[in-house]
Amino acid sequence: MTEIAGKAAVVTGGGSGMGRGIALQLAKEGARVVVADIIAANAEKVAQEIRDRGGEAIALGCDVSDRASVRAMKAKANEAYGPILIVIPNAGATSFKRMKDVDDTEIDWIIQVNLMGVLNFIQIFLPDMLAAGEGHFVASASVAGFIPTLAPDHVPYTAAKMGIIGAMLNLRRELEGTGVQSTVFTVASIQSNMGANNSTYRPARFGGPYDEKIEVPKNFTPPPRKDPEEVAPMVTFAIRNNRPMLISDPIHRKNFEEQYLPIAMQAFDDVDAFYATKNKG
């Protein structure tokens, strides 16, 4: 997709942080934006902000982990704007806890919101894009999924975000020749409200809001955080230029080279050695 102006877009988690930044940027480039969020009041604030800046937007409440809620939101979005050809499944939730301390509900919540929140949107919005012969998904994963050793005490979230990376890159192969494109956004070090607000948006079936702030483990120092509005133009660049993957902080090149590549290369060296020994014997 080369043209964003005039297209209808939906951004989940649009009421805060990175989602708000992407919604503002899409509107600035002429898209008609559905700001979707489980906290409908926050989605409405962002939609109003877009309208105040001269853009076009509506707000819709939606729990991305609940297919019925996603389908109901899509019906309202189609009523307002017709087929939605830019879909940004960005909503996410996290926690930093050791596996020995997490309960069933927390694992289910984190997997359902992050990973299923993306798959639900692909499944439900793809048919309209295929019918139109164009469209673009940009799903928010995380550097935690791209460099899984980076942040400790983050197993369910890392699993979900690595799953999103796999899903989006595999989807790209499936969509070859259809005119529909996809990008995985490995979000990294963004100023957001996740630390402060995470506990307020847990859906009722996973226990509802709870009273606990996220504590980043003491043996992990995240890099300085960037303003989502500074980063958001990277997302529209990826749409216009059909990029498979996007990362929001160059600092992680070094971490990828130092932490992830050696693990993969060791596995290849070991398998080479295994077959070399076997073939000799």
What is the distance between the alpha carbons of residues 190 and 232, in angstroms, rounded to a whole number?
A: 11
Catalytic residue among 16, 65, 140, 142: 142
Instruction: Tell me whether residue 275 is one of the annotated catalytic residues.
Output: no
Catalytic residue among 157, 182, 192, 201: 157
In this structure, what DSSP letter does residue 138 have? E
Options 91, 138, 168, 239; binder of ligand NAD; rule CB under 6 A: 91
Which residues have CB under 8 Å from 243's CB, separation 6+? 183, 237
Options 188, 231, 235, 239; binder of ligand NAD; rule CB under 6 A: 188
Site string for ligand NAD, 190-219 (x = CB under 6 A): x-xxx--x---x-x----------------
Measured CA distances, 126 to 31, 143, 146, 176, 226 (Å): 18, 26, 25, 14, 31
Binding segment for ligand NAD (CB under 6 A), chosen from 100-108, 130-138, 185-193, 233-241, is: 185-193
Instruction: Tell me whether residue 142 is one of the annotated catalytic residues.
Output: yes
By CB under 6 A, the count of residues binding ligand NAD is: 34
Instruction: Tell me whether residue 248 is one of the annotated catalytic residues.
Output: no
Residue closer to ligand NAD by CB (options 81, 109) is 109
User: How does 101-135 read in b/e, with b if 16+ C-beta sit within 10 Å?
Assistant: ebeeebbbbbbbbbbbbbbbbbeebbebbeeeebb
Residue closer to ligand NAD by CB (options 70, 134) is 70
Q: Which runs of E-coded beta strand occur in the chain?
A: 8-12, 32-37, 56-61, 86-88, 135-140, 180-186, 245-247
What is the distance between the alpha carbons of residues 261 and 210, in angstroms, rounded to a whole number?
A: 38
Rule CB under 6 A: is residue 11 a binding residue for ligand NAD?
Answer: no
- Least Cβ distance, residue 138 to ligand NAD (angstroms): 11
What is the distance between the alpha carbons of residues 10 and 14, in angstroms, rounded to a whole number?
A: 8
Residue closer to ligand NAD by CB (options 28, 161) is 161
What is the distance between the alpha carbons of residues 129 and 38, in angstroms, rounded to a whole number?
A: 24
Options 23, 57, 113, 231; binder of ligand NAD; rule CB under 6 A: 113
What is the distance between the alpha carbons of residues 182 and 173, in angstroms, rounded to a whole number?
A: 10
Binding stretches for ligand NAD (CB under 6 A): 12-13, 15-19, 37-39, 42, 62-65, 90-94, 113, 140, 142-143, 187-190, 192-194, 197, 201, 203
Which active-site residues does the annotation give? 142, 157, 161
